[in-house]
Chains A and B, each alone.
Chain A
Amino acid sequence: MNTLPSTNALQQQAEASRYALLLDWGTRVGVVALFLSFAAYLTGLLPPHVPLEDLPGLWNLPVGEFLQRTDTPTGWGWLALAHKGDMANLIGIALLAGCSLAPLLGLIPLYLKRRDHAYATICCLVAAVVLLAASGVLTGGH
Chain B
Amino acid sequence: MPRLTPASLMPVLKACVAWGWLFMLPDLAFAGDSAVPGSAMPWWFWPLALFVTCFLIGIVAVPAGIGGGTLFVPIIGGFFPFHLDFVRGAGLLVALASALAAGPFLLRGGLASLRLALPLALLACMSSIAGALLGLALPAAAIQTALGVIVLGIVVLMLVSKKSEFPHVPQPDRLSSALGIHGVFIDGASGRSIDWQVHRTPMGLVLFLAIGVMAGMFGIGAGWANVPALNLLMGAPLKVSAGTSGLVLSLVDSSAAWVYLNRGAVLPMIAVPSVVGMMLGARLGARLLHVLKASIIRRMVIALLLFAGIRALLKGLGIWA
Contact = CB atoms under 8 A, between A and B. Distances in A.
Given A63-B263, A138-B133, A23 B100 contact: yes
Nearest to A61: B83
B180 A8 contact: yes
A34 B100 CA distance: 14
What is the interface of chain A mostly: helix, strand, loop, or mixed? Answer: helix
B262 A74 contact: yes
Interface string B101-143: 1011101101011110011011001100100010010001000
B46 A56 contact: yes
B271 A27 contact: no
Nearest to A123: B118
A97 B115 contact: no
B251 A59 contact: no
Interface in A53-73: 53-57, 59-63, 66-67, 72-73
By size class, the interface of chain B is 35 or more
A43 interface: no
Contacts of A105: none
A100 B104 contact: no
Interface stretch (B35-43, B60-68, B225-233): B35-43
A63 B265 contact: yes
Contacts of A66: 83, 86, 264, 267
Given A59-B81, A118-B179, A107 B114 contact: yes
A100 B261 CA distance: 16
A139 B250 contact: no
B269 A13 contact: no
B195 interface: yes
B115 A12 contact: yes
Interface in B254-269: 254-259, 261-269
Given A20-B107, A67-B264, A86-B268, A62 B43 contact: no
Contact of A60 (B83, B105, B263): B83
A35 B279 CA distance: 12
Main secondary structure of the interface of B (DSSP, over half): helix
B213 to A, nearest CB: 14
A19 B107 contact: yes
A136 interface: yes
Contacts, number: 190
A131 to B, nearest CB: 9
A133 B41 contact: no
Interface string A86-120: 10011001101111100000010000000010110
Given A23-B104, A97-B254, A97-B261, A126 B121 contact: yes
B114 A12 contact: yes
B272 interface: yes
A54 B276 CA distance: 23
B263 A141 contact: yes
Most buried by B among A12, A52, A97: A97
Interface in A8-29: 8-9, 12-13, 15-17, 19-21, 23-24, 26-27
A130 interface: yes
A59 B263 contact: no
A84 to B, nearest CB: 10
Nearest to A34: B272
B43 A1 contact: no
Given A20-B104, A59-B270, 16 more contacts: A8-B180, A15-B114, A16-B110, A56-B43, A61-B83, A63-B83, A63-B85, A63-B265, A66-B267, A93-B261, A96-B97, A119-B118, A126-B122, A129-B129, A130-B255, A133-B256
14 contacts: A1-B178, A13-B110, A31-B97, A34-B272, A63-B265, A66-B83, A96-B93, A97-B93, A97-B254, A99-B254, A100-B100, A100-B251, A122-B122, A134-B262
Interface of B: 36, 38-39, 41, 43-44, 46, 81-83, 85-86, 93, 96-97, 100-101, 103-105, 107-108, 110, 112-115, 118-119, 121-122, 125-126, 129, 133, 136, 140, 178-180, 182-184, 195, 250-251, 254-259, 261-272, 275-276
